[in-house]
């Protein structure tokens, strides 16, 4: 969103001079073309995103079942607040809690780890290209595959992690990482961190490389210690970029589905909001209740997004004032 806010102010330049040179005719002509070329994309987006979203909102106010989507009755907010409504379901609240714990835990670990990896790669060295390739590898692996790979490595009897941890004396006995309800969320976080830290590191790296080098030079001339340089120069300068990356990851983590579904299926202890929604919709065929839960997730994400957009806008305005 930062981008959208900024684009408005910065891109007035390319098109504006022409309209000055050629008068209003060309500008009108161009904006007519713009709408014509936008039309297919907008139409498609309306059909595949706007319409289904509106239908989901509508379904959430009905008692529709998956087997007969056409046969429904309007029941108002019963799917939300009724006796069997989502908000009355302890299972829903557990999934909210699980999702929040997952999101906070994985995003904060990824941020710290991503920063570390970015600093490592930003350091000029012969290893740099190799490190960058190593970093991209987990990112290139499909989530389903990484969930399966790690499930195998975390296997309670034959898993390589249990084997070495027992051999090294870290564990007394093998642990059932994915089956034990006390451990499974951590196992999921572990896999998510492995898979998405590269994204975080990449964005952090981009922010790091935008820090002007004279900042470092000045610090060097003044003999500032490396840690102090990082703390007082690097970190404040990359903070906006870091914040963008964190919010992107946060929005992603709140709708987590694949990794949890593959690793622990519908297990109650690790059910995320998205897993809950799909279970209601498809497994239980309760389109009304499922849609209501889906809308609650949608609004949660919308609130996070809007809060962030407003915060960014006011900051941008403050900066330009």
Residues 290-309 that bind another protein (CB under 8 A): 290-291, 294-295, 297-298, 301-302, 305, 309
Which of 87, 100, 131, 237 touches another protein by CB under 8 A? 131
Per CB under 8 A, 141 contacts another protein: yes
If the CB atoms of residues 185 and 287 are measured against another protein, the closer one turns out to be: 287
- Output the smallest distance, CB 81 to another protein, in A: 19
- Output the smallest distance, CB 120 to another protein, in A: 6
Pairwise CA distance, residues 302 & 281, whole Å = 21
Q: Please enumerate in sequence order all residues whose Cβ is within 8 A of that of 178, keeping only pairs 6 or more positions apart, or say none.
A: 151, 154, 156, 184, 187, 263, 264
- Output the smallest distance, CB 268 to another protein, in A: 18
Q: Which of residues 26-55 bind another protein (CB under 8 A)?
A: 26-27, 30-31, 33-35, 37-38, 40-42, 44-45, 47-49, 51-55
Per CB under 8 A, 18 contacts another protein: yes
Site mask for another protein (CB under 8 A), range 90-129, x = bound? ---------------------------x--x-xxxx-x--
**C-alpha to C-alpha distances, 150 to 257, 270, 286, nearest whole angstrom:** 16, 16, 33
Pairwise CA distance, residues 204 & 242, whole Å = 6
Per CB under 8 A, 150 contacts another protein: yes
Q: Which of residues 199-238 bind another protein (CB under 8 A)?
A: 199, 202-203, 206-207, 209, 213, 216-217, 219-220, 226, 229
If the CB atoms of residues 39 and 81 are measured against another protein, the closer one turns out to be: 39
Report the chain's terminal Cα–Cα distance, integer Å.
Answer: 19
The whole-angstrom distance between residue 108's C-alpha and the CA centroid of its chain comes to 12
Q: What angle do the packed helices 51-59 and 287-320 form, to 10 degrees?
A: 130
Which of 84, 97, 164, 231 touches another protein by CB under 8 A? 164
- Output the smallest distance, CB 112 to another protein, in A: 14
If the CB atoms of residues 54 and 104 are measured against another protein, the closer one turns out to be: 54
Which of 17, 23, 181, 236 touches another protein by CB under 8 A? 17
What is the DSSP secondary-structure string of 220-284? HHTT--HHHHIIIIIHHHHHHHHHHHHHHHHHHHHT--HHHHHHHTT-GGG--HHHHHHIIIIIS
Pairwise CA distance, residues 265 & 252, whole Å = 19
């Amino acid at each position: 969103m930062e981008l959208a806010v900024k684009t408005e102010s910065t891109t007035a330049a390319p098109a504006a001079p022409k309209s000055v040179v050629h008068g209003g005719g060309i500008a009108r002509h161009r904006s007519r073309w713009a709408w014509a070329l936008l039309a297919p994309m907008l139409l498609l987006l309306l059909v595949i995103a706007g319409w289904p979203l509106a239908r989901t909102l509508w379904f959430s106010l009905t008692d529709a079942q998956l087997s007969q989507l056409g046969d429904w009755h309007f029941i108002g907010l019963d799917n939300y607040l009724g006796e069997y409504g989502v908000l009355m379901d302890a299972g829903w609240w557990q999934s909210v809690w699980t999702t929040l714990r997952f999101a906070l835990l994985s995003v904060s670990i990824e941020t710290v780890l991503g920063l570390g990896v970015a600093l490592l790669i930003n350091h000029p060295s012969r290893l740099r290209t190799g490190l960058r390739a190593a970093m991209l590898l987990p990112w290139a692996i499909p989530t389903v595959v990484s969930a399966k790979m790690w499930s195998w490595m975390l296997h309670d009897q034959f898993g390589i992690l249990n084997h070495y941890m027992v051999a090294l004396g870290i564990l007394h006995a093998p642990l059932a990482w994915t089956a034990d309800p006390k451990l499974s969320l951590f196992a999921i976080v572990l896999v998510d961190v492995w898979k998405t830290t590269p994204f975080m590191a990449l964005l952090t790296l981009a922010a790091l490389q935008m820090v002007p080098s004279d900042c470092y030079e000045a610090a060097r001339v003044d003999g500032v210690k490396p840690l102090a340089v990082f703390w007082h120069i690097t970190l404040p300068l990359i903070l906006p970029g870091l914040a963008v990356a964190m919010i992107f990851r946060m929005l992603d983590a709140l709708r987590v589905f694949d990794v949890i579904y593959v690793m622990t299926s519908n297990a109650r202890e690790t059910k995320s909001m998205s897993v809950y929604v799909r279970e209601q919709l498809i497994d239980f065929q309760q389109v009304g209740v499922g849609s209501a839960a889906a809308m609650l997730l949608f609004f949660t994400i919308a609130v996070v997004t809007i809060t962030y957009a407003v915060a960014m806008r006011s900051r941008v305005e403050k900066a330009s004032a």
